[in-house]
Structures are given as C-alpha cells and as structure tokens.
C-alpha cells in the first residue's frame, strides 16, 4: 500500500525523456510518482533527428513530439527554459540556475550531450561568444539562428563530416548556399563507414552539389564583426559567410560533476541505469554503460524502456545489457546503412565487398562463424531490412552470404504447386500443356481437366495460357538490342 506519492524528477527534456515519459505513462507511473521534468530549451520535447527540417524551413512545431499541454494532460510538471545546476543527493534537493530548490525522491539525469567546439583561432568574438556567423548545430534555436542568417548565394563551410555535418551541409545546400564540407579523417562518416564506403559517399555527396575536403582541419576563422572565412591546415583559405561546427558531441556531465556523481566519459551507470548514489539514475547520451556512451537514438530508447520497467516495478528485474549499433539514414539524398563492425578482427572472419564503381555504390558484409557481425551499405540499401534482422538476431546467413543481398525471392515457388485442386493439376503440368499448344482456358481444360471442376482457378489458367501459350512465345521477348 502506497501512502504517499514519491517525487520523480527527470532532468533534461530531449528524445530520451520523451520516450521515458511515454513508457512511464503506459505503465501508469502516476499512481506511484509525481513526475516533474526540467528542460533547458523552451517548450516541450522535440525530435532532434528531424532538426534538418527546421533548418530547411519547416516550423519548429512540426518536430515537437510533446506540447506543454501534453504534460498538463498527464499531470507531469514541466519546467522549461530552466537549467538544473546541482543535486544535493543527501538532502535530495535540486537547485536551478534561477535559484529554485526542489525536493525529490528519485532523480533521473537525461542531460544528453553537447557539441564539441574545437578551440579555433578567431572563432570567438571579443565578448567570448561565438563570432556572428559561426554556429553549432544541436537545437531548434541553433537552426532558427542559422536560417535567419543564411541567404542563398552565400557561402558556408561545415566543419565535420559525420552524421550531423552532412545533414547540415545538405540543408544549407538546399537553401541555395555554396557549401564546403571540411573533414579531418580520410573519408566521411568514418565512425559508420570504412574508407571505401566513406569515399563512395563523398563522391555521391559531391555529385549532389556539396564540395568535400577530407584530411583537413580548420586552423583559424577570420572576419570582423562577422565571419568572413576559414584557413585550413593545408594553407588554403576559404571565404565563408557562415561556419557551422559539427565536430561531434560529448556527454553533458557538468551537473553530474557538480553533484558529486561518478563520472567517467559519461555518468557511470549499471544495468539498471542507476548511478552508485542512491536515488539517482542516468540514461541516454549522458550516461556511460559498461564503458560505452551512445549517440544514437535506438539504444537510448532501449534504456528508457528498462528504466521505466525498473522504476515502476512493472518488470523490476529488467536489465539493460547493451545495444547493437545501427545507423540508417539518408545523407544528402544518399541512402546509407551501417551496423556492427566496420572491419574484420579475427583471422577467420570473412569479408564480402561489392563495389559498383560507376554508381558509387558499395556494400560490405563482415561475417564470423556464418553470422553477420557487421555490414555497411552506401547507395544501394534495398537489402538493409533483411540484413539488420540477421544482425539483430544473430540469424545464420545462407551458405552463400551474398544471397541475402538479393531480392528475397531468388527462387521461384515449386512448380509442383496445385493450381486446380478439383483435379489436382499442378502448375508444371499446365505450363507444359500451354507450351504444347493449349493456349486458352478451354484448351487447358480439355487437355488437363483443370478448371472444369469448381472453376475457381480460371483466372490463373488465363494467366498461364497468356504467359506460356504459343501466341505469347511468338512475341519477341526483347524489344531491341
């Protein structure tokens, strides 16, 4: 019997929290908890994956997953535009930047991540803020600022050739800007693709109108009250009206540090998503689980489910044991999928690569003991659905693993299939009869008796007569060479 409700406070209001709230509501958590959420950004949660839409011109509301009314309707107290600065984990209170204090019983840190801002010369103005024209790409506000600043015909340099950088480059290119992407590694998306894959992607990106410069870094940003360009480490100077920094993200751990929680790269949690401090949990991009931090949404959602199971007691023994890494996206119009390992590790690991040189398409499978441990696809992703299911479930691959890359129905159904069940006539018999001249339903019926019982197979007989009858075969099968 619960005599009073416990206070559950969630710090951070991003995609992880959005999912956690759904999971909590589904488990009727309100019976046990008074839930409050603190968010630094204004308004309700939104889908960060769709930021490109806002940069491209959609209204911010188009990507809002939970309006403030949603929180009200579910009796969840939302305090937005407010940063939590410290938890007193002994007294179980939290403190906000505007001086509020709030009691809690259980705290969940979902503070997410923050953009890595490299210390470039000239990047900051005299006030220490980013120089006008220099942007990071993380929030709705960032997108709105970039959109307001950008004019078609302007030039932009995007620093970073990972997922976010490519997305920003594409959105700016679509707004009519001249876009150059500068990437430090040898090839694009090097966290998800091997060198060849990244190169193929790079070629396609260039075809889409974006200039790519790999193996280069930005040495300095120059300008006056506004940015005017960048200098690369190879000495090249690129003029630019905008510079977008997309150099990756790192877990946001400032609050955890200030509160004395154990922090490594991220906030350290166990399989229940608990920190070692009683009553404090963490999940999502800010958390470090078994030495790994995550920057993709699927693992975060999986963690949210486990956390909801544990906190509500709906499955108190639920545990998060890690996630299979998978990214699937369309970058600058190019379909890309990547799962698991990029390269073989053991001597016995098998690798298959298919290079479509002219199309700049690339497919690679990494196989161990007949099972898929990694795959990447650039430009030709039709088999992704099949591959990811094999990868997720450790499903054995066909003896010839390349079969999984083909359309699932490489083999036709057996011709022994009954078409006419009244007279037990198989497809093979009918095809043979049609080829021997029985090229109408009536003729097939006379020869094989098919269709002379209930008649329900007549539609199919018609098709067989049409496809395999003499008149069909007399037509040229190929129009021209």
Look-up of token digits 């997410």: 112
Minimum CB separation of residue 464 from other proteins in Å reads 12
**Shortest separation between residue 28's beta carbon and other proteins, angstroms:** 14
Q: Between 258 and 402, whose beta carbon lies closer to other proteins?
A: 402
Q: Does the footprint of other proteins cover residue 66 (CB under 8 A)? A: yes
Q: Which is nearer to other proteins, 50 or 220 (CB)?
A: 50
CB of 318 to other proteins, least distance (A): 14
Identity of the residue, 185 or 431, whose beta carbon is nearer to other proteins in the bound complex: 431
Site for other proteins contains 72 (CB under 8 A)? no
The stretch among 131-139, 152-160, 343-351, 385-393 that binds other proteins (CB under 8 A) is 385-393
Q: How far is the CB of 197 from other proteins (least distance, A)?
A: 17
Residue 434 touches other proteins, criterion: CB under 8 A: no
- Window 394-413: residues binding other proteins (CB under 8 A): 395-396, 398, 408-413
Tokens standing for residue 403: 């079969």
Output 86 or 423, the one with its CB closest to other proteins. Answer: 423
385 binds other proteins (CB under 8 A): yes
Task: Output 34 or 460, the one with its CB closest to other proteins.
Answer: 460
Measured from the CB atom, is 135 or 283 closer to other proteins? 283
CB of 53 to other proteins, least distance (A): 9
> What is the C-alpha end-to-end distance of the chain, expressed in Å?
81
User: Minimal distance in Å, beta carbon 192 to other proteins?
Assistant: 13
106: left (phi over 0), alpha (psi -120 to 50) or beta: beta
CB 64 to other proteins: min, Å: 7
Binding flag, residue 414, other proteins (CB under 8 A): yes
Q: What is the 3-state secondary structure (H, E, C) of the chain?
A: CCCCCEEEEEECCCHHHHHHHHHHHHCCHHHCEEEEEECCCCCCCECHHHHHHHHHCCCHHHHECCCHHHHHHCCEEEECCCCEEEEECCCCEEEECCCCEEECCEEEECCCEEECCCCCECCECCCCCECCCEEECCCHHHHHHHHHHCCCCCEEEEECCCHHHHHHHHHHHHCCCEEEEEECCCCCCCCCCCHHHHHHHHHHHHHCCCEEEECCCEEEEEECCCEEEEEECCCCEEECCEEEECCCEEECCHHHHHCCCCECCCEEECCCCECCCCCEEECHHHEEECCECCCCHHHHHHHHHHHHHHHHCCCCCCCCCCCCCEEEEEECCEEEEEEECCCCCCCCCEEEEEEECCCCEEEEEEEECCEEEEEEEECCCCCHHHHHHHHHHCCECCCCHHHHHCCCCCCCCCCCCEEECCCCEEHHHHHHHHHCCCCCHHHHHHHHCCCCCCCCCHHHHHHHHHHHCHHHHHCCCCCCC
Q: Which of 22, 34, 88, 105 forms a contact with other proteins (CB under 8 A)?
A: 22
Binding to other proteins by residue 298, rule CB under 8 A?
yes
Question: Least CB distance from residue 387 to other proteins, whole Å?
Answer: 10
Q: Is 130 in the site for other proteins (CB under 8 A)?
A: no
455 interacts with other proteins by CB under 8 A: yes
Pick 64 or 179: Cβ nearer other proteins: 64
φ, ψ (nearest 5 deg) of residue 371 = -120, 150
- Judged by CB under 8 A, which stretch of 4-12, 61-69, 78-86, 238-246 contacts other proteins? 61-69
d(CA 179, CA 170): 8
Site for other proteins in 271-290 (CB under 8 A): none
Q: Is 67 in the site for other proteins (CB under 8 A)?
A: yes
Q: Taking the complex as a whole, how short is the minimal distance between the CB of residue 424 and other proteins, in angstroms?
A: 6
Report, in Å, the least distance between residue 165 CB and other proteins.
Answer: 19
CB atoms within 10 A of CB 65: 16
Out of 388, 434, 438, 464, name the contact with other proteins by CB under 8 A.
Answer: 388
Q: Could you say which residues in the range 319-358 bind other proteins, by CB under 8 A?
A: 326, 328-329, 335
How many angstroms separate the CA atoms of 366 and 371, rounded? 9
Under the criterion CB under 8 A, does residue 462 sit at the interface with other proteins? yes
Which of 345/463 has CB closer to other proteins? 463
Task: Return residues touching other proteins (CB under 8 A).
Answer: 18-19, 22, 26, 47, 49-50, 63-67, 298, 326, 328-329, 335, 381-386, 388-389, 392-393, 395-396, 398, 408-414, 418, 421-422, 424, 453-460, 462
């Amino acid at each position: 019997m619960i005599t009073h409700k416990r206070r559950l406070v969630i710090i951070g209001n991003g995609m992880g929290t959005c999912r956690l709230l759904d999971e909590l509501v589904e488990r009727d958590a309100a019976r046990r908890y008074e839930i409050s959420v603190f968010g630094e950004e204004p308004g309700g949660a939104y889908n960060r994956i769709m930021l490109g839409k806002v940069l491209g011109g959609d209204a911010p509301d188009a990507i809002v997953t939970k309006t403030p009314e949603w929180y009200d309707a579910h009796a969840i107290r939302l305090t937005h535009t407010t940063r939590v600065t410290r938890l007193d984990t002994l007294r179980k209170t939290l403190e906000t930047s505007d001086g509020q204090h709030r009691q809690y019983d259980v705290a969940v840190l979902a503070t997410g991540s923050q953009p890595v801002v490299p210390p470039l010369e000239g990047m900051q103005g005299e006030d220490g803020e980013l120089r006008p024209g220099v942007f990071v790409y993380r929030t709705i506000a960032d997108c709105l600022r970039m959109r307001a600043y950008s004019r078609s015909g302007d030039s932009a340099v995007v620093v970073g050739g990972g997922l976010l950088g490519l997305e920003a480059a594409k959105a700016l290119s679509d707004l009519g800007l001249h876009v150059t992407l500068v990437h430090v590694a040898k090839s694009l998306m090097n966290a998800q693709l091997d060198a060849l894959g990244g190169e193929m992607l790079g070629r396609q990106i260039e075809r889409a109108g974006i200039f790519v410069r790999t193996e280069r870094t930005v040495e300095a940003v120059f300008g006056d009250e506004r940015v005017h360009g960048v200098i690369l480490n190879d000495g090249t100077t690129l003029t630019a009206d905008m510079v977008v920094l997309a150099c990756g993200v790192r877990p946001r751990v400032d609050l955890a540090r200030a509160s004395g929680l154990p922090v490594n790269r991220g906030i350290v949690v166990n399989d229940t998503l608990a920190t070692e401090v009683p009553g404090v949990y963490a999940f999502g991009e800010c958390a470090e689980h078994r030495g790994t931090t995550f920057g993709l949404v699927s693992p975060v959602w999986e963690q949210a489910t486990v956390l909801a199971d544990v906190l509500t007691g709906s499955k108190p023994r639920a545990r998060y044991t890690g996630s299979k890494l998978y990214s699937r996206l369309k970058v600058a119009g190019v379909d890309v999928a990547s799962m698991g390992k990029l390269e073989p590790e053991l001597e016995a690991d098998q690798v298959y690569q298919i290079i479509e040189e002219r199309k700049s398409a690339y497919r690679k499978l990494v196989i161990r003991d007949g099972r898929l441990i990694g795959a990447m696809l650039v430009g030709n992703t039709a088999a992704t659905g099949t591959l990811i299911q094999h990868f997720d479930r450790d499903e054995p691959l066909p003896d010839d693993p390349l079969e999984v890359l083909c359309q699932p129905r490489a083999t036709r159904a057996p011709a022994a299939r009954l078409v006419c069940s009244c007279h037990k006539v198989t497809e093979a018999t009918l095809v043979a009869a049609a080829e021997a001249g029985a090229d109408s339903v009536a003729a097939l019926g006379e020869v094989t008796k098919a269709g002379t019982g209930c008649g329900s197979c007549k539609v199919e007989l018609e098709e067989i007569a049409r496809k395999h009858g003499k008149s069909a075969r007399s037509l040229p099968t190929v129009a021209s060479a």
